[in-house]
Structure formats: structure tokens, C-alpha cells
Structure 1
Amino acid sequence: MAQQEHLRQVGHKEPYSTVGVVLVALGLAVVPVLTLLGQRLLAVLWLAVGILVLALVRLRRPEGSWLAARGRVFDVAFGTILAGALLALAQYVNLPRLL
């Protein structure tokens, strides 16, 4: 009886998790599409903002969610630093090719 109740509670949370995973996958799929369309700067900016949004979401999500990879502080710090590095280096995206 308790196991059925637990499964019913888990079932209510799962659609939100699935929607989150699908949204992240679609957001990441935009990056190569923008790149192939010649919008390299926009692709890097999109990726940086996406990573920053995920870091902020991780700040608010409880432990044990699908977004949790390591500790909350590490995930938020790493995501923020990575997004900042991408934003700082985005100006170099349109440099000419060397080879």
C-alpha cells in the first residue's frame, strides 16, 4: 500500500522533470542550428545564457533533482564561471580561420 502511494507521488513529479529535460535538449539543439546558419556569435551567446539559466535553476531546485550532478554550490559556481567565460570569449568567435 505504501509503495503504491509512493509511486503515485513520483508519477506527479515526473512530467515536470520530462518537460525540463526536453526544454534543455531543445535549447541545446538551437546552438548547432544557429552555427550552421552562420550565426556563430548568437550561438555562443545562446549557450552562455542557457548555462547561466541552468545555474540559477540549480540554485532553486531541491537536492536529488535531475539537474543535480554534484553539490549545489559547485554546480552553481561552475555554471556561472562557465557562462561568464563564454560571454567573455564570445567576441572572438568571428576571427578568421588559421588553416
Structure 2
Amino acid sequence: MRTRMLSCSRTVTLLTAYPFGLPDGQMDRKVRRHLRACPRCASWARSMRAAVAFFGTAPTIEAPASVRRRVEAVLGSTSGSTVARKET
């Protein structure tokens, strides 16, 4: 039995999870099948992979304390969260 092809919007949604891995092998096959058939989504996937690779090479920097305090103030007022600090 042949399964339906994923829509472009569903494929893009699933592709955003690719850097974190897909939990389902069947879904992975559906995404790959869609990418073989859809040049637009295949191009988007290549761009996304390039962006992930680029940002993966960026150095980690420590935000100034003033920036951390402002972010913590905003997050604390909306969710009760705090910004994780890099241990030095």
C-alpha cells in the first residue's frame, strides 16, 4: 500500500526538528521522499543544513552582566525562568 506524500508545510515543520533527530524512521522516509519530489522543499532543506552548520561553528561568548540582568528581568516577568550562566 502506498502512503500519501507529506505536504510542504508538514515537511518544513519536520525539517526544523532534524538537527535534534527524528524519532520515527517512517517519518524520516516520508520527509526524504518529499524532498526528492519537491525542489522547493529540497532547496529549503539545503539552506537550513547550511545555516545549522554555520551557526555550529560560531564561538560561544559570555553576555555582559547588564544584558543577562535585562534578559532575566524579562523572562522572570513572563515565565519565572532564569537565564543560565556559563560557569567561569
Q: Which has the higher helix share?
A: 1
TM over 0.5: no
> What TM-score do the two structures reach when normalised by structure 1?
0.32
> What TM-score do the two structures reach when normalised by structure 2?
0.35
